[in-house]
Structure 1
Amino acid sequence: MIQQGQSLPSATLSELTAEGMQTHDIPALFANKKVVLFAVPGAFTPTCSESHLPGFVVKADEIKAKGIDMIACVSVNDAFVMQAWGEAQNANQIHMLADGDGSFTQALGLEMDSGKFGGIRSQRYAMVIDNGIVTHLNLEAPKSFEVSSAEAILALL
């Protein structure tokens, strides 16, 4: 599992934007930026849609005022689902990143097998990244939602 002080792994994530499908190289995407990256087990799921993403939507300006250049949400979903979920949640200040095959999540060592829910998914977490280096990692205990919330990250910053 990735630890504080380590570099993010080399991987790609997809994002469907107004300009079309974008494939982002992780080291390039996070280079020379301070980023809050949070992960959810699945788009359009209860805790993710009722609390996790909405918290970052509401607190985006406050988080960015603390020196954060980018807020990104990642899930083991496809880019079309992530884009639709972002639109449904008014997440226009958040990069909705798709880890379609779960390779980024697995490279981080933060995957879980959700069984019938959808197989390999991401654990719920939030991290602060400075120029590609993880400076904080708040990993949730199973079935919990406390340390990865927008409020918890804002307090950390």
Structure 2
Amino acid sequence: MVERGDAIPSVAVKLVDANGITDATADAILGQGTVAFFSVPGAFTPTCHVNHLPSFLANAQKLADAGATRIVCASVNDHHVMKAWAEATGSLGIIDFVADGNGDLATALGLAQDKTDVGMGKRFQRTALVIRDGLVQSVFVEDGPGISASGAPAVLMALEETHA
């Protein structure tokens, strides 16, 4: 599993942002500035849609004020789903989205989980990272259902501690 000090791997993904959908690599997306990165098991899934993404959207300005130059959400979904989710939540242009359709980034970070027992295949664990210039500074991984460790408040506290 990804740890503090690890570099973000160069893994092919799709970036969904205000400019559209582009081919990119994770290290190019997450490698510059201070990034508040969070991963979810699936776009439009209940906890992700109702709690996790909205916590980052609601705190976007506070995260920026604490030093985040970019907020990025990743999921093992295709880029069409991620774009629809970004638009449906009003997040497009505020949060950038990484479509990790095959779960390659989730695997490279050691954050893949097997959800075949509930018909979802390989997915990201619910996680948040603070990344500075491509190096992981903080790791927040949920150890059960719901959001306690990986929501925007935890990331905000980590940013505030190091930004002061």
TM tier, smaller: over 0.9
Aligned length: 157
Identity value in percent: 39
In the alignment, the residues of structure 2 paired with residue 139 and residue 78 of structure 1 have an alpha-carbon distance, to the nearest angstrom, of 23
> What are the within-5 Å matches in structure 2 for residues 72-151 of structure 1?
72-92=72-92, 93-115=94-116, 116-151=118-153
Whole-angstrom distance in 1 between the partners of 2:4 and 2:17: 30
Q: Which amino acid aligns with 2:110?
A: G
Shift in Å at residue 75 of structure 1? 0.1
Verify the 8 A CA contact 2:16 2:96 in the aligned structure 1: no
Gaps of 5+ in 2: 160-164
Q: Is the 8 A contact 1:15 1:83 kept in 2?
A: no
| CA deviation after TM superposition for structure 1 residue 84, in Å | 0.5
What is the match of residue 61 of structure 2?
A: 61
| Alpha-carbon distance in structure 2 between the residues aligned to 1:30 and 1:151 | 20
SS at match of 1:101: coil
> One-letter code of the match for 2:122?
I
CA shift in 2, pair 1:130/1:46, >3 Å: same
Cα distance in 1 for partners of 2:30, 2:18 equals 21
User: Runs ≥4 in structure 1, deviation > 6 angstroms?
Assistant: none
Q: 3-state SS of the aligned residue for 1:23?
A: strand
| SS at structure 2 position matched to 1:22 | strand
Q: Deviations over 1:25-56 (max 9, x none)?
A: 22222333110110000000110011000011
2: CA distance, partners of 1:79 / 1:58: 23
Query: What letter is aligned with 2:13?
Result: L
- Does 2:39 match 1:39? yes
Counterparts in 2 of 1:17 and 1:59: CA distance versus 1, 3 Å: closer
Report the AA paired with residue 147 of structure 1: A
Alpha-carbon distance between aligned partners in 1 of 2:32 and 2:145, rounded to the nearest angstrom = 34
CA drift of 1:138 comes to 0.3
**Further displaced range: 112-121 or 46-55:** 112-121
- Looking at structure 2, the residues matched to 70 and 150 of structure 1 have their Cα atoms a distance apart, in angstroms, of 13
User: Quick check: 119-128 or 1-10, which moved more?
Assistant: 1-10
CA contact (8 A) 2:31 2:135 kept: no
For residue 84 of structure 1, what is the amino acid of its counterpart?
A
CA distance in 1, matches of 2:18, 2:105: 24
What is the alpha-carbon distance in structure 2 between the residues aligned to residue 48 and residue 113 of structure 1? 17
8 Å contact 1:59–1:150 — kept in the other structure? yes
